[in-house]
Amino acid sequence: MSMRPIVRFGDPVLVTRTTPVTKFDQHTAALVRDLLDTVDAPGRAGLAATQIGVGLRVFSYNVEDRVGYVINPQIAELSEETQEDEEGCLSVPRLWYPTRRAERAVVTGVDLRNEPVTVEGTGLMARCLQHETDHLDGMLYLDRLDPDTRRRALRDVRRSDWFMPAEAPEPAGVQLPSAFGGTA
């Protein structure tokens, strides 16, 4: 089993659009195995490759006894009917906010043999499919919140014990060369 560490909010990989998979080799198979192993923990419904620091268009899911993965997923269909429920993210730990999503979603993509796959679902599965596809498009669920809730969420992120700003001050006594922002 290869459980990979989860990348947290603030890492640029989470807001970068992923690259489609073009090689279906042992490296792609290893990535899929890692995604399936990592999503197979209590409380986890889905995991995008970006959440383990990989900029490829792949996600895994583990919702209501349905476990699988999709390579190069695209949203093929969303219902007009919506749901609003608390949503969270492994990359934004312990913070949940009401997020509006389509009640039903259909995702198309391919498997490890580059054969077409379609995954569809309602409720939690629909939410998962949309959430993970968003990750691969460089979007976090926080981006979908209404403006007031988003401001509160970002404030909560900054106050959380796991958040480290990208521009943390240099440790005392350490001086970077001028080429890296220090003084000469």
Q: Which residues are catalytic?
A: 132
In which order are the strands placed within the sheet that holds 66-78? 46-48, 58-63, 66-78, 104-110, 116-122
How far is Cα of residue 176 from the mean position of the Cα atoms in its chain?
33
The Cα 156–Cα 67 span in angstroms is 32
Q: For 166, how many CA atoms within 13 A lie in the half-sphere containing its CB?
A: 6
CB atoms within 10 A of CB 122: 14
What backbone phi and psi angles, to 5 degrees, belong to 173? 85, -5
